[in-house]
Amino acid sequence: MLDGLLEGGTNRSIARKLGISPRTVELHRARLLAARLERCHGRQVKRLAGIVLLVLVAALAAFYLLVAPPRQLDLLDRLRAGNSGARLVARDVAYGAAPRQKLDIYDNPKAGRPPKPVLVFFYGGGWHGGDKDHYGFAARAYAAKGFLVVLPDYRLVPEVRFPAFVEDGAAAIAWTWRNAARFGGDPNRIVTAGHSAGAYEAIMPALDRKWLAAQGLPDNVIKAAAGLAGPYDFYPFDKPNSINAMGAYPRPLETQPIRFVRRDAPPLWLGHGTADTDVRVRNSRNLAAALKAVGGRAVLREYPGASHNDLIMAVSRPFRARLPVLDESSAFLMEQSRR
């Protein structure tokens, strides 16, 4: 009732009607106005919060749907990197004439002294996808472990088929051997690593001598190699990626890294998740067993319950605590590079 009376009239007229002082009427009116303003402000805040929430949800959905997963890892890694010291020292350096025959070089002046061991890292993508610009997180991670890191692109299906992408990998390694010293790297301490199809790119030239020989390189250029969830024993081809990449090759057994195990091969570190349904863990198990059977050296590291992408995610800073992939693979490569 009081609120209704306060809606009209002067303080004096309302005070006479209610038998109270004009000052009391003034105070009641002030409280009423404050309450209304507070309610109005609350509604505006709720509306604004709803709009902000919708914008955030839309932005996260766009990030998830439109940004390639490796690029997501790279962006998240950058947000968490802080002052790690890793940096891109050369970009889009040509190692061949084709548009995709380019590489980037990463270094971390805070980690190690030159001449440093050199790691050539190959990304995955089923031989039909991938972009070095999305894998800076992997290069920065290994650079922080003391390596000069070379990160190449290579030609992909359908532009090319086997063996063109293997030849590109060998050409990138050859360029590294001839030019690493200019960037503070030691050409006598080159190692390779990669994930998925990139693991194939890293392991194949380490086992089959002909790829580096075709580039005019000696046998012992690669001191060690690390494969993360890689395919090494997958013939007969039963998945679209391998069928498209290698199905037309007239001698399919020559596409299989396991066919080229030898006693004097560089030592291999083979990491694989036991729950990998994209590239079965038997690929790493079979290769490790075959290499050991001929007197070669291999470390098989299985990660129980890990999926195919868990291994490369674990290289990125936000997910590094999940699996010790980075620490274990880099320690192996660093030790072998000194021999």
DSSP conformation letters of 13-56: HHHHHHTS-HHHHHHHHHHHHHHHHHHHHHHHHHHHHHHHHHHH
Work out the burial of residue 136: count CB atoms within 10 Å of its CB; fewer than 13 is exposed, 13-18 middle, 19 or more buried. Answer: buried
More confident position, 99 or 66 = 99
More confident of the two residues 48 and 199: 199
For residue 23, the model assigns a pLDDT of 77
pLDDT in tens, 86-109: 999 999 999 999 999 999 999 999
Cα(149)–Cα(191) distance, rounded to whole angstroms?
Answer: 10
**307: nearest Cα among 339, 280, 334:** 280
User: Residue 64: what pLDDT?
Assistant: 45
Residue 51 pLDDT > 90: no
Q: How confident is the model at residue 233 (pLDDT cuts 50, 70, 90)?
A: very high
| Low-confidence winner among 60-64, 208-212, 273-277 (lowest mean pLDDT) | 60-64
CA-CA distances (angstroms) from residue 93 to 29, 57, 199, 298, 315? 75, 39, 22, 33, 24
pLDDT, residue 68, reads 75
Residue 318 burial (CB count, 10 A): 14
Among residues 135, 128, 141, which one has the least CA distance to residue 72?
135
Helices (H), the chain: 2-5, 11-18, 22-66, 69-81, 136-143, 164-179, 197-207, 210-213, 240-246, 282-293, 310-313, 325-337
Tell me the longest C-alpha to C-alpha distance in the chain.
110
Residue 63 has pLDDT above 50, yes or no: no
| Residue range 25-44: mean pLDDT, rounded | 74
Q: Are 95 and 102 in contact (CB under 8 A)?
A: yes
Question: Amino acid letter at 123?
Answer: Y
Q: Confidence class of residue 257 from pLDDT cuts 50, 70 and 90? A: very high
**Averaged pLDDT for residues 266-275:** 98
**Residue 226 neighbours by CB distance under 10 Å:** 31
Find the distance separating the first CA and the last CA of the chain, reported in whole Å: 93
Q: Is residue 150 pLDDT above 80, yes or no?
A: yes
Percent of the chain with pLDDT over 70: 87
C-alpha 200/C-alpha 230 separation (Å) is 6
| Gap between the Cα atoms of 210 and 203, Å rounded | 13
Q: Output the pLDDT for position 170.
A: 98
Task: Characterise 75 by phi-psi region: left (phi > 0), alpha (psi -120 to 50), beta (else).
Answer: alpha
Q: Lowest-confidence range among 37-41, 60-64, 319-323?
A: 60-64
pLDDT tens digits, 164-195: 999 999 999 999 999 999 999 999 999 999 99
Mean pLDDT taken over the chain: 90
Q: What's the whole-number mean pLDDT along residues 262-288?
A: 98
Residue 225's pLDDT band (cuts 50, 70, 90):
very high
What's the rounded mean pLDDT across residues 138-165? Answer: 97
Long-range contacts of 207-210 (CB under 8 A, 24+ apart): 207/257, 207/260, 207/261, 207/262, 207/265, 208/257, 208/260, 209/260
More reliable by pLDDT, 23 or 301: 301
129 neighbors 206 (Cβ within 8 angstroms)? no
Q: Provide the Cα torsion 212, 213, 216, 217; round to 10°.
A: 60
Residues 6+ apart with CB under 8 A from 336: 191, 223, 224, 266, 267
